Structure 1
Amino acid sequence: MPTYRRTFPGQPEEIHNARRFTVQCLGDPTTAATAELIVSELATNALRHTTSGTPAGTFHVTLSQTTHTLTVSVTDAGTTDTKPEFHHPDTEATCGRGLGIVATLAERVEVQGDHRGRTITAELPLPRTEKHRR
């Protein structure tokens, strides 16, 4: 099954390009919309909380499909004292909601890495096609 990878410069306008890349790689519009939101949240966090958001920074997006699962990963450039935290702030909060949104949308979320760089991976079930329903 296909795997798509791309590295983006650590500039805020590149989040749009990462979202577009995600949609272009995926066939199912519902899955693409969910994956696009996940990439947007994770890329925003990478730029905001790590050296990915510095002038020379980058972040990496990987999309991997199997028969039943889409795996969406964003890897940052690291060197930060903060660790990703999953929490659900109140509805009035203007920040701190990204990982909570990702955790709500994904079937499973995993964080790997350390101060040298972290990868956050979200797994989404793929919709069953007519061929699989029989």
Structure 2
Amino acid sequence: MLLAVPVPAQHEAPMYWRREFPGRPEEVRSVRAFAAHLLAGFPALDDVLLVLDELAVNAIRHTRSGEDGGRFIVDISLDVAGAIVYVTDRGGPGEPRLRSLAGLAEGGRGLLAVDALAATWSWTGGPRGRTIRATFPRTDLSPDHRG
């Protein structure tokens, strides 16, 4: 008896980009342009750009990346399943955490936006540096065509 064995479809090779940015507020625009160029046509591009905006601002405002001569790194990974973005900063005394909407004035909403827009997010690291990761699955493919 001859059995047919299904062969998995060839996956597209994932794409991966990394860029380091000076820790200055005007660089947030450059982060968005970097991602917009690389992810042109990605269904959740607007969400990705808003999340990267928040993460870059947080790196500059709340970590040593925003100090004189500070820097932060943005990594972007894209494959058939979706996009993942990472922002790595130089660390600081606090830890990334969600705050309650109650009592928030102008600040403190950044990670709430990340939590609302990304499918998942997480962070790793400590006072000397940390990386925040946010995922954005593709939603424009039919179930038959999702790797």
TM-score for the superposition, normalised by structure 2: 0.82
2:13 aligned with 1:5: no
Deviations 1:4-42 (A, max 9, x none): 111000111000000110100103254221111111000
Q: Separation in 2 of the partners of 1:2 and 1:29?
A: 13
Aligned AA for 1:100? Answer: L
Task: Report if the CA contact (8 A) 2:25-2:60 is conserved.
Answer: yes
> What's the CA shift for 1:92?
6.5
Of structures 1 and 2, the larger Rg is shown by 2
The structure where helix makes up a greater share of residues is: 1
Q: Separation in 1 of the partners of 2:139 and 2:40?
A: 11
2:40 aligned with 1:27: yes
Deviations 1:92-124 (A, max 9, x none): 731100001001111111110011101000011
SS for the counterpart of 2:24 is coil
> Mapping of 1:1-134 within 5 angstroms?
1-28=14-41, 30-78=43-91, 80-90=92-102, 93-129=105-141, 132=145
> What are the ranges of 5 or more consecutive residues in structure 1 without an aligned counterpart?
none
SS for the counterpart of 2:28 is helix
Say if 1:31 and 1:91 are closer, same or farther in 2 by CA, change over 3 A. farther
> What are the ranges of 5 or more consecutive residues in structure 2 without an aligned counterpart?
1-13
- Alignment identity in percent? 38
TM-score for the superposition, normalised by structure 1: 0.90
Aligned AA for 2:28? Answer: I
Aligned AA for 1:112? Answer: T
Aligned AA for 1:24? Answer: H
Task: Report if the CA contact (8 A) 2:48-2:118 is conserved.
Answer: no
Q: Give the number of equivalent residue pairs.
A: 132
Task: Report if the CA contact (8 A) 2:15-2:78 is conserved.
Answer: yes
